[in-house]
Structure 1
Amino acid sequence: MEFENDCSKISTCFRYLNQQQLAFIDSKTTQLTYLRGENVFKQGAFAPYILYIIDGLVKTYLQIGNHKQLNISLGKTGDFLAFSTIFSENMYNYSAISLKDSTICMIDKEALKYLMLQNPDFAMHIASKNGRNEMQLLEIIKNISYKQMRGKLASSLLYLSSEEFHEHAIFQYLTRQDIADFASISTESTIKFIKEFEKEGILSLDGKNIIFNNKELLLEISKKG
């Protein structure tokens, strides 16, 4: 792959690298395409790479026991995956699956760490870009710990319908089970509350798609928990 023509031109972070640094990271990077439904990496597997999404949509989740999972976030074009492993774990601490055909850069994490030490501007911007992941994790913890089921679902729907995902028609790629796993509630409860929200005029349903008519009320439900 030609790194300069792909990753470096999509992410604002890479503009802080000079030509020599770009050539270095190019030599430490592999570009792969994952088909819809294909595992990108698995929780507990060896983690030699930080991943960067050139194009596509990826769901990240925690596997809890044999039969339960908790969806963490969606990764889209321009997002990094497994960035936290650069500082600590040698294993992926969550799993990722491609929701649609996705092109991804596999960047050697030791090479990326080296560049961050050599280039403080690059380090600052790449760390800042990944700060939102921590905020999403805090929101998940708050949802699980303090909110009732309607509040949990409202929070998850607000996240999934946020502006950053508008171009992806996100709900076409998510089952009701997926939505339930973002809210940490059962699929049955998810279907029930979505129908309640529809009756209350908060949203409309068009097949798998969910159209939001009153996000202010949804936000109020989320805040009240």
Structure 2
Amino acid sequence: MSIKGVFPIDKWDFKSESILADLPSDIYELLTAHKSEQVYKRNEVLFREGSYPSGIFYITKGKVKKYKVDNEGKEQIVYLANTGQLIGYHAILSEDRYPDSAAVIEDSTIAFIPKEDFLKTLEHSPVLNNRLLKALSHEFSVLANSLTMFAQKTVRERLALQLIVIREKYKVNYVAGMPVEINISREDLASLVGTARENVVRVLTEFKEDSILETKGRKIIIRDVNKLIKIANLK
């Protein structure tokens, strides 16, 4: 089912697909003049926190996690980016190092656009500037909501919420009434929720017993998103 109207997905899911959509042809050609594409295998790293950016990344196909690593080496995923989204441009705009790391969570095709082409295009395109500003504003709002979620919600509520958001990212060629299949490791899911892997496995088992979802290996098939929305408790 579509969750539009029953769940405020825009508060939790940042989408940057519209940044490059329908750009004037001359601007798009300027931006992609020296673009290159590469296939990355699952868990391969695009960039690491603290390194200097040499360009931006466009997800042609696949999914990428943005994450931070604490002093003990524990990973905290801050966002999952989807096909069609741009990542890595924050550091260039702020003229600083990458504030986080990025790695693919499934085999993905990623396009790389050199920093020089990106900055040159910004100089010639008010449209691209405005879209990036709007995207940054929305992303800040999504991250602020996420911080509030971690502070106020239980593991069960947080997992339900993340499954709803991730479900939207895996709705490819979706047909009404069709269950959505999520392909994500329990480690990455635990990192998104901000808890131990054991807690995620336990709550997933509870959800299975309640006929909310089923699992096949690392795959999670959402059967009843309405029950997840109730559990997420977003009143």
TM-score range for the pair, normalised by the shorter chain length: 0.7 to 0.9
The equivalent of 2:170 in structure 1 is 165
Alpha-carbon distance in structure 1 between the residues aligned to 2:159 and 2:65? 17
Out of 142-151 and 186-195, give the one that drifted further.
Answer: 142-151
The equivalent of 1:200 in structure 2 is 210
For 1:31, what is the secondary structure of its paired residue?
A: strand
1:210 to 176, 195, 220: 220
Alpha-carbon distance in structure 2 between the residues aligned to 1:198 and 1:122? 45
2:37 to 31, 34, 37: 31
Alpha-carbon distance in structure 2 between the residues aligned to 1:139 and 1:69? 20
Alpha-carbon distance in structure 2 between the residues aligned to 1:124 and 1:40? 26
Shift of the alpha carbon at 1:57?
A: 2.0
1:60 equivalent to 2:74? Answer no
RCO comparison, higher one (Cα < 8 Å, 6+): 2
Q: Is the 8 A contact 2:181 2:221 kept in 1?
A: no
Q: 1:170 to 1:129 in 2, by over 3 A?
A: farther
Out of 132-141 and 192-201, give the one that drifted further.
Answer: 132-141
2:100 to 62, 84, 94: 94
Shift of the alpha carbon at 1:170?
A: 6.1
The equivalent of 2:197 in structure 1 is 187
Q: CA RMSD in A?
A: 2.6
**Bigger helix share:** 1
Q: Is the 8 A contact 1:55 1:103 kept in 2?
A: yes
1:80 to 75, 83, 86: 86
The equivalent of 1:15 in structure 2 is 22
1:50-80 deviations in Å (ceiling 9; x for gaps): 1111222222211122321111222222100
Identity %: 23
Alpha-carbon distance in structure 2 between the residues aligned to 1:55 and 1:78? 7
Shift of the alpha carbon at 1:131?
A: 5.2
The alignment of Structure 1 onto Structure 2 pairs a total of residues equal to 213
Q: TM-score, normalised by structure 2?
A: 0.78
For 1:40, what is the secondary structure of its paired residue?
A: strand
The one-letter code of the counterpart of 2:24 is L
1:145-191 deviations in Å (ceiling 9; x for gaps): 111111111111111112x322397633x211111111001111111
Alpha-carbon distance in structure 2 between the residues aligned to 1:142 and 1:110? 37
1:113-169 deviations in Å (ceiling 9; x for gaps): 33224221232234445655334322321221111111111111111112x322397
The equivalent of 1:3 in structure 2 is none
Shift of the alpha carbon at 1:206?
A: 3.0
